[in-house]
DNA sequence: AAAATATTGACAGCATGCTGTCAAACTGGT
DNA sequence: ACCAGTTTGACAGCATGCTGTCAATATTTT
């Protein structure tokens, strides 16, 4: 049988680097937010509320997350008094979620921490390099996204050929 | 109060791209493994077993994960018959975990799927670009890692100055 | 207007990461 | 040889992502 070798192709190496960087950035986010008793996920959602009033389903779509993932976080934020639900006159299913002044304070505190970290880190990093990587990731990402989609489509066509 | 604007600095953009790419790669991994009834996490651990016999704590260290995260997956793999624990003569605490022939089959099946996906994707992607990004991520990652560590060290020095 | 379809939030449950605590076993310094 | 500290796996519990189902409500189609 095949020796089950450790993958060493360019795509695997690329993936490993992305995973590693993802871990570092998540850790950074957690460090920033944990000093304020929050988390990266809370920060993300709270940030959306900062841009204006939203429904949970809307935020989830914006963030590319499952509706229920955001729902749980929104519930938690509300329970902690960082956000409030309000009835939505035009749609009795949905509640509108709004940031409270306490939530805004927390968000601002996180922002200050983030700005500090950002500023410090940028003294050690090359701005153009970050931009270059971001652009390249964006391009590669679009290709991969397309291939994932076409793969899923093909698979469906094969497995559910009728209709 | 500050308007809580949407962050638009280079570091944030960079982070967003990394998160997005991470999501795409994770989704690819899940697609590959789900057709075999596995998951990316299982694949990772199973892959380590393919390189040789290990203890759980060892694998966790290698992968940069918490010991108990790997432990749960290893237990699951064992329960499914893809791996077995064996007593370790030299250390009565630890069990040695080994891939079974069934596990090797599964791993190989995943590998075939992955190789297909990899090969297809590489017809759409620029190899040099992937390598360039990987290198750049590696460099940036080392800087960020160092800054995270020095930040944590500083923080500890401030909060726990004695001893 | 009525019927079919889609969306939303509540509820429940899974996977994977994390942490903390504990007892057993190993290791190293004296 | 002993004692202090470390490592390991078991167990329990949390956070965040996911999914699926359901009833209430919008929305679209006919």
pLDDT tens digits, A55-81: 999 999 989 899 999 999 999 999 999
Residue B66, CB, less than 7 Å from strand C?
A: yes
pLDDT of residue B160: 40
pLDDT of residue A2: 46
Would you say residue B40 has pLDDT above 90? yes
Would you say residue B161 has pLDDT above 50? no
User: What 3-state class would DSSP assign to B7?
Assistant: coil
Interface size A-B, in CB pairs within 8 Å, comes to 174
- For residue A127, the chain B residues in CB contact (below 8 A) are 10
CA terminus-to-terminus distance, chain A: 41
In a mutational test of the A interface, the residue from B135, B140, B145 whose CB has the highest number of chain A CBs within 10 Å is B140
Residues B15, A26 contacting (CB under 8 angstroms): no
User: Buried (b) or exposed (e) across A62-77, using 16+ Cβ within 10 A?
Assistant: eeebeeeebbebbeeb
* pLDDT, tens only, B107-120: 999 999 999 999 99
Its CATH architecture, for the domain B35-122, is Orthogonal Bundle (1.10)
Which DSSP state fits B160?
Answer: S
A111: nearest Cα among B82, B20, B18, B9: B9
Q: Integer distance in angstroms from CA A153 to C1' D21?
A: 26
* pLDDT, tens only, B56-73: 999 999 998 999 999 999
Subset of residues 60-89 in chain B with CB less than 7 angstroms from any atom in strand D: 61, 67-68, 71, 75
Provide the phi-psi class of A86: left if phi over 0, else alpha when psi is between -120 and 50, else beta.
beta
For residue B13, the chain A residue with the least C-alpha distance is: A134
Subset of residues 91-120 in chain A with CB less than 7 angstroms from any atom in strand C: 91, 93-95
* pLDDT, tens only, B6-29: 667 899 999 999 999 998 999 899
Would you say residue A147 has pLDDT above 80? yes
Residue B126 phi/psi, 5-degree rounding, is: -90, 120
Give nearest nucleotide to A72 (CA–C1').
D16
Q: Where are the domains of chain B?
A: 35-122
Would you say residue A112 has pLDDT above 80? yes
Q: Hey, how many other C-beta atoms are within 10 angstroms of the C-beta on A136?
A: 19
In a mutational test of the B interface, the residue from A17, A156, A159 whose CB has the highest number of chain B CBs within 10 Å is A17
User: Buried (b) or exposed (e) across B64-87, using 16+ Cβ within 10 A?
Assistant: ebeeeebbebbeebbeeebbbeee
* Among B121, B127, B137, beta carbon nearest to A17: B137
Residues A27, A38 contacting (CB under 8 angstroms): no
pLDDT of residue A53: 80
Distance separating alpha carbons of residues B78 and B84, to the nearest angstrom: 5
Residue B71, CB, less than 7 Å from strand C?
A: no
Would you say residue B1 has pLDDT above 70? no
Token readout for A31 is 């460090």
* pLDDT, tens only, A16-44: 999 999 989 998 998 899 889 999 999 99
CATH number assigned to the domain with residue range A30-124, chosen from the 4 options 3.40.190.10, 1.20.1250.20, 1.10.10.10, 3.30.565.10: 1.10.10.10
Would you say residue B53 has pLDDT above 90? no
Residue A104, CB, less than 7 Å from strand D?
A: no
Residues A83, A98 contacting (CB under 8 angstroms): yes
Provide the positions of strand C that have an atom within 7 A of a protein CB: 7-13, 15-20, 24-27
């Amino acid at each position: 049988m095949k020796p089950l070798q450790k993958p060493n192709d360019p795509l695997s190496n690329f993936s490993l680097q992305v995973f590693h960087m993802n871990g570092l950035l998540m850790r950074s986010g957690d460090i920033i937010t944990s000093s304020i008793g929050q988390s990266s996920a809370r920060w993300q959602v709270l940030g959306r509320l900062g841009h204006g009033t939203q429904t949970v389903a809307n935020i989830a779509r914006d963030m590319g997350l499952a509706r229920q993932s955001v729902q749980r976080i929104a519930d938690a934020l509300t329970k902690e008094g960082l956000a409030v639900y309000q009835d939505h006159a035009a749609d009795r299913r949905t509640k509108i979620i709004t940031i409270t002044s306490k939530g805004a304070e927390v968000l601002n505190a996180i922002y200050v921490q983030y700005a500090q970290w950002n500023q410090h880190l940028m003294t050690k990093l090359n701005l153009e390099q970050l931009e270059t990587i971001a652009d390249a990731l964006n391009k590669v990402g679009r290709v991969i996204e397309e291939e994932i989609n076409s793969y899923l489509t093909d698979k469906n066509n094969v497995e559910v050929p009728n209709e």
